[in-house]
Chains A and B, each alone.
Chain A
Amino acid sequence: MRLSLLSRLGLRGVTVIGLVFLYVPLVVVVILAFNKADSTLWPPTGWTLDWWRQAWHTSAPKNAFVQSVEIASAATAIALVLGTLAAFAMSRFSFFGKSAISYLLVLPIALPGIVTAVALKNTFLRRIDLGFVSFKVGFGVHSIIIAHSTFCIVVTYNNVVARLRRSSPNLLEASADLGAHGLRTFWSVTFPLVRSALVAGGILAFALSFDEIVVTSFTAGPGDQTLPQWILNSFGRSKGVPVTNVMATVVMALSIPLAWLAQRLSDSTESIAGRR
């Protein structure tokens, strides 16, 4: 497409402004994590590792970090299993109500977190009586994991569905045609086919769970605190701000390479043979 010089310069300018707006605050956080002054003074007056030492020697941020990792791992594992099963069912079979179910599967990610949070809170605090068995979910790490799985499933499901849609529907038949039994076909064809989609979906699900705060606040037990919750609480106290900058920097350092990997795996240009 040909653009006039003026519009080209204009679009370039808007793009730069947009990127600056998005990324300068992140850079500021990293700089503040090393800022000598005991506040968010700008510009920094000098450099220090004090806040890193403080973060290291305080147990609260570390515990919150570990708890977040545990919850995100568990929610991701659940999402991988259920999302993959759903993706295969949707791509391999056609049945009554299929499009409705497909919609219901991806709806949780579009629902406002506050709605999910209130709904789950209402459910978890009640005793559920099914006649032959009655139980109460209650609140704790387990309820956070269950709550997070509801929207983590969406990203794993979407990734696997996209991969299956791009691959030839005949691949499994081709494998059987060449003499492979079901299990053999699974390990030699099916699993390798979706492997990178699983990794990408898993990373995204993990990230989604890791920084969730609304649903977490509603479904957490009294003693539970995830990293986002801890950061939110500390941020309210001026003394806590420098350490939150440190934790934010740590999370950023961990998530940037993971995000890059997820992007590469799910958006990879390896087009699947057999699709024209």
Chain B
Amino acid sequence: MERPRAVSESVASTIESARASASDRSTPAIQLVRLRKTFGAGDGTVVAVDDVDLEIDQGEFFSLLGPSGSGKTTVLRMIAGFELPTGGAVLLDGVDVTQRAPFDRDVNTVFQDYALFPHMTVQRNVEYGLKVKGVGKAERRKRAGEMLDAVRLSGFGNRRPTEMSGGQRQRVALARALVNQPRVLLLDEPLGALDLKLREEMQGELKAIQHDVGITFVFVTHDQGEALSMSSRVAVFNNGRIEQVGSPRDIYERPTTSFVASFVGTSNVLSAALSERLLGVAAPHTLRPERIRVVDATHVLDDHDVAIDGVVDDVHYLGAESRVRARLDDGSVLIAAVPSDGLAALIAGQPVRLAWPRRAASAVIESVVQPEQQGENQ
């Protein structure tokens, strides 16, 4: 990744002062204390954010991950100041800003639809924040120019946002926010509108920029792959609550709830009854498909392995690996991801034996899964 590196370095130099002023590394950049937001009143009340507690450290690339309506965007909007919490507090660098207007907070936002001002040129869009703060013309021209260079848009200053592609607009939005040298950058599904290739390119660029400027990034996404690949830590949202906070590895390998297990990657959830029978523990367990092997009936299990018989429902060929759906005798379904070679014999209706290492299954708390909520501002 040659290019992103160069880009991020030039961004870094323009934001150096922000890093220098990131005073006390021990104070969390953001603290959410029993943060709550409800929409509507009376019987129609929708709880969008349900008493969320969260600490985000200085310099983190922190993702808020969850399905639409899970409250992640509402949390972001309360940090930005666009929504007033129904209860609880938002602290930035240890200072309570809950009641402060968006223009009184040292955070900037990259919006999902970019929200570039259509009547201004790209240059004036990027200069806007500086102009509002009273930065002189020469200075803001210089800083905006540097920031446009940094996002590889030098020479585009006189264009209108409408004359640019989605990826270019996205970078203008990034430049417009970063030029203000905020303490925290909030990103609301900024890659959602881009096609896959551009998206992957921007993921690398964003991560590199964040790494070099050292600003705290709070990144809202519903894409678990994006969250896992970019973040230092992830908070998984469901029904207005945080189900789990942890490193991408924690979230993926040691999900604590059944929701996290199934939302982040594909996962099998073994019921409490089945777990008791197989593992001797009467609590639901999750099991990643890639940990399951298809074995012969004659296969000798060692002590660490667990095995169960089932009937093949379906074999889904994905190239290097295949997904085998097997129905167990209690009616539940297990999905195994196995290498495609040597699977030729497997067909639907055929009996199959599945085995996995005992420690591959981890106990989880059964999540409350409710129908999709309304009221989240997307």
* A270→B113 CA distance, assembly (Å): 17
With contacts A177-B109, A179-B129 known, is A274 near B115, CB below 8 A? yes
Residue from the list A180, A181, A273 in contact with B118, Cβ < 8 A: A273
List residues 122-153 of chain B with CB under 8 A from any CB of chain A.
128-129, 132-133
Interface stretch, picked from A40-48, A184-192, A204-212, is A184-192
Closest to A191 in B: B119
List residues 39-58 of chain A with CB under 8 A from any CB of chain B.
none
List residues 33-82 of chain B with CB under 8 A from any CB of chain A.
80-82
Contacts of B133 in A (CB 8 A): 179
Contacts of B113 in A (CB 8 A): 168, 170, 274-276
* A209→B72 CA distance, assembly (Å): 50
Contacts of B80 in A (CB 8 A): 173, 177
Contacts of B348 in A (CB 8 A): none
Whether A173 contacts B118 by the Cβ 8 Å rule is no
Q: Is B8 an interface residue (CB 8 A)?
A: no
- How many residues from A make CB contacts under 8 Å with B? 25
Whether A273 contacts B129 by the Cβ 8 Å rule is no
* A274→B114 CA distance, assembly (Å): 6
Whether A168 contacts B115 by the Cβ 8 Å rule is yes
Q: Is B31 an interface residue (CB 8 A)?
A: no
With contacts A178-B128, A180-B103, A271-B162 known, is A173 near B82, CB below 8 A? yes
With contacts A168-B111, A178-B132 known, is A272 near B162, CB below 8 A? yes
Whether B132 contacts A273 by the Cβ 8 Å rule is no
Whether A192 contacts B119 by the Cβ 8 Å rule is yes
Contacts of B107 in A (CB 8 A): 177
Residue from the list B82, B112, B129, B160 in contact with A178, Cβ < 8 A: B129
Q: Is A266 an interface residue (CB 8 A)?
A: no
Closest to B104 in A: A179
* A192→B180 CA distance, assembly (Å): 23
With contacts A178-B108, A178-B180, A179-B133 known, is A273 near B102, CB below 8 A? no
Q: Is B101 an interface residue (CB 8 A)?
A: yes
Whether A273 contacts B128 by the Cβ 8 Å rule is no
* A168→B377 CA distance, assembly (Å): 13
Q: Is A171 an interface residue (CB 8 A)?
A: yes
Closest to A173 in B: B82
* A271→B160 CA distance, assembly (Å): 11
**Closest approach, in angstroms, between the C-beta of B216 and any C-beta of chain A?**
16
Whether B103 contacts A176 by the Cβ 8 Å rule is yes
Q: Is A174 an interface residue (CB 8 A)?
A: yes
* A270→B307 CA distance, assembly (Å): 64
**Closest approach, in angstroms, between the C-beta of B18 and any C-beta of chain A?**
15
Residue from the list B101, B117, B169, B193 in contact with A174, Cβ < 8 A: B117
14 contacts between A and B (CB under 8 A): A170-B115, A173-B109, A177-B80, A177-B107, A177-B177, A178-B129, A178-B180, A179-B129, A181-B101, A193-B118, A273-B114, A273-B115, A273-B118, A276-B166
Query: What 14 additional pairs, Cβ within 8 angstroms, besides A177-B103, A177-B107, A188-B132?
Result: A168-B111, A173-B80, A175-B128, A176-B82, A176-B102, A178-B108, A178-B180, A180-B103, A180-B132, A270-B160, A270-B162, A273-B115, A274-B114, A276-B193
List 7 tightest A-B contacts by C-beta distance, closest first.
A178-B129, A170-B115, A273-B161, A174-B115, A176-B102, A274-B113, A273-B118
